[in-house]
Amino acid sequence: MMGEMTWPDYKSRVEKGAIVLVPFGSTEQHGYHMCLGTDSLLPTAVSRAVAEQIDAIVAPAVNYGARSQPKSGGGNHYIGTTSLSGVTLIHLVRDMIVEFARHGVRRLVLMNGHMENGPFLAEGVDVAMRELKLEGITDMTILKLDYYEFTSEETLKIVFPDGFPGWALEHAAVFETSLMMSLHPGMVDLSRVREERLANFPPYDIYPADLEAIPPSGALSPAGSASVEKGERMMKEYAALIPPAILKAFGL
């Protein structure tokens, strides 16, 4: 964990070519039953598990994320949801990449846990890479990944026996709740899950948001069938599948 290292220790690890992982999350409502930090805690846990296997460094997580959208995070009207504008996030990502490059880091992984961050991370990477190129740094490689994309078909069938609703509708639902139950049981209270309808959104976005379309609890599909076992299964899979994918992508 970079935040727990001294700078000389960090420097010597970077000089040896260490991969640096940066968890990106959010501070966002996760229903009545789960904490606001869920999207940051999960990619941080995944990053830790991955780093242990490939001897990587985990940088401090970015605990604020892009504006919550109704169809993937319930929307930005909930009290507690605390978002960055896209422009701010782009600049934040760009600044961080340029700093890591200055340290000598040449392999960086952006480990995302909040879907809305995606396009802004991509843009921040692009701006940073152009800037680094002008400075003559052309040997940096950056990976951007949403850790949940590493869930296998087989696991999806086990976690969602009645059908997988898609990652966007899995906000504060079975997938995130199961992972939190396995990693941070004290931050989940299943008795507070409200068994509401599955969110049913039209195939467009409307501004201002149609609050009627959003389940009032903020969870976009019912989390009632979440379990520690499901969480452990997914976590095990991420720990097994993500490290080799990272090494392969970096040509190691």
Binding site for Zn ion (CB under 5 A): 38-39, 176
- Given 4, 33, 39, 135, the catalytic residue: 39
Interatomic CA distance for residues 179 and 193, integer angstroms: 15
Q: Which is nearer to Zn ion, 38 or 83 (CB)?
A: 38
Query: How many angstroms separate the Cα of 242 from the Cα of each of 109, 130, 147, 188, 228?
Result: 11, 27, 8, 26, 21
CB 113 to Zn ion: min, Å: 7
**CB 30 → Zn ion: shortest distance, Å?**
6
Which CB, 146 or 176, lies closer to Zn ion? Answer: 176
The conformation of residue 17, written as its DSSP 8-state character, comes to T
Smallest separation, CB 87 to Zn ion (Å): 22
Q: Catalytic: 116?
A: yes
For tokens 């220790």, the residue is 9
Q: Is 91 designated active site?
A: no
CA proximity to 241, closest of 53, 19, 112, 23: 53
DSSP labels for 94-162?
Answer: HHHHHHHHHHT--EEEEEE--GGGHHHHHHHHHHHHHHHHHTT----EEEEEEGGGG--HHHHHHH-TT
Task: Considering the candidates 33, 146, 170, 171, report the single residue annotated as catalytic.
Answer: 171
CA distance 199 to 164: 13
Catalytic residue among 33, 146, 170, 176: 176
Q: Is 135 a catalytic residue?
A: no
Smallest gap from residue 58 Cβ to Zn ion (A) = 19
Active site residue 126: no
Considering the complex, state which of residue 13 and residue 114 has its C-beta at the smaller distance from Zn ion.
114
Residue 28 a catalytic site member: yes
Q: Which is nearer to Zn ion, 39 or 146 (CB)?
A: 39
114 tagged catalytic:
yes
Q: Of the listed 9, 15, 30, 196, which one is catalytic?
A: 30
Indicate if 39 belongs to the active site.
Answer: yes
The residues assigned a catalytic role are 28, 30, 39, 114, 116, 171, 176
